[in-house]
Amino acid sequence: MTDQRSEREKMLAGDPFLVPDRELDAMVSAARVRQKAFNDTPRTDYPARMAALEALIGKSAPKAWIESPFLVDYGVHIELGDCYINMNCTFLDANRIVLGDKVDVGPNVQLLTATHPVDSAKRHLDWPSDPDIPFRVASQALPITIENGVWLGAGVIVLPGVTIGEGTMVGAGSVVTKSLPPYVLAAGNPARVIRQLDRTAPSSARRP
Which residues belong to the active site? 116
Residues in the chain: 208
- What residues contact residue 54 under an 8 Å CB cut-off, 6+ apart? 60
CA–centroid distance for 63 within its chain? 19
| Strand arrangement, sheet containing 144-146 | 59-60, 78-80, 97-99, 144-146, 163-164
Contact between residue 166 and residue 183 where contact means Cβ atoms under 8 Å apart: yes
Closest alpha carbon to 125 in 24, 17, 6, 25: 17
The single-letter DSSP state of residue 206 is S
Q: What are phi and psi of 115, to 5 degrees?
A: -145, 175
